[in-house]
Amino acid sequence: MLPTVFLDYASTNHNDLDLSQLEQVGQPLILWDHTSPETLLEHIGDAEIVISNKVVVDASTLHRLKEQLKLICIAATGTNNVDLAAAKALGIPVCNVRNYGSRSVAEHCIGLIFALARQIPAYHQAVQAGTWQQSKHFCFLDYPISEIAGKTLGIIGYGTLGQATADLARAIGMKVIIAERLDAISIRPDRVSLDELFAQADVISLHCPLTEQTKGLINAERLRKMKPTAFLINTARGGLINETDLLEALQNNLIAGVGLDVLSLEPPTAANPLLQHSSPQLIITPHIAWASLKARQTLIDKIAEIIAKFQQGELLNQVN
């Protein structure tokens, strides 16, 4: 049996995962911590099954290996790192992993909302700077604190992750409104238009995939439609937001706060405008909303299940 190769295993593992199920179906299993474009072909070698979290497998690579590759497993739900059209044309099935980190992402999303509403970064920085120690009272109230209960959460993208976030939001007393799909002809009774969502929401949370239609979805025009007291949360894909427009909105107080777990380029460079803006109203975490231990273990086990089913002649979660 030809090997199974995981191109960027270190993006999922911190020496804390049980690989037994994956090793059983992937024999022999080759794990690469990291794969660059320059080492892609070398790392794939003669593998028939390739696992990739974020390593790009483009059309030229697929055409070069069309007689060899039998299955590509994306170790994530998002599929924008693989040229699906080329893979389909060449008869190479591509399968992704679903429903492995919905609770982890939802909890991170709600955590970002609380951090902004309770001004946790601002107060932490103030304590670190010695402000509390100099206070004449047992507390100081330099930064206004708001409560989440009763506020309206607007969700754009109501798949598994959006639904999990909505469930937690309702549990803490938030009202939830859901944006209608961008390509919808009419508005369903349980949905609202995008314009209505931007006007009503106290918090907007993004959970939609990155496509040509959604790229730059959050731009200057839409940011101006938000309440000046509203927060924007993105745990989906960085490309959904025009980052220059977002920075201008923050600097001009058009919105009250932003919580991001994703950026347009990852890892980012110093040129990213958001990284040049130091403010407790901007919280950026390094794409780890999905990464609880339980979620990462579930991811690995689901990849093993996909490969096992493929070996039995069945395709799970095929996306092309």
> So which residues are the catalytic ones?
237, 266, 287
Cβ atoms within 10 Å, residue 251? 10
CA distances from 150 to 50, 153, 173, 202, 304 (A): 47, 9, 6, 10, 43
Euclidean distance between CA atoms 50 and 7, whole angstroms: 7
Q: Using CA atoms, how far apart are residues 155 and 105, in angstroms rounded to an integer? A: 14
Q: List residues bridging with 113 in a β-sheet.
A: none
DSSP state of 212: T
Q: Which two tokens stand for residue 126?
A: 């103030």
Q: Are 120 and 113 in contact (CB under 8 A)?
A: no
Nearest residue to 53 (alpha-carbon basis) of 79, 75, 80: 75
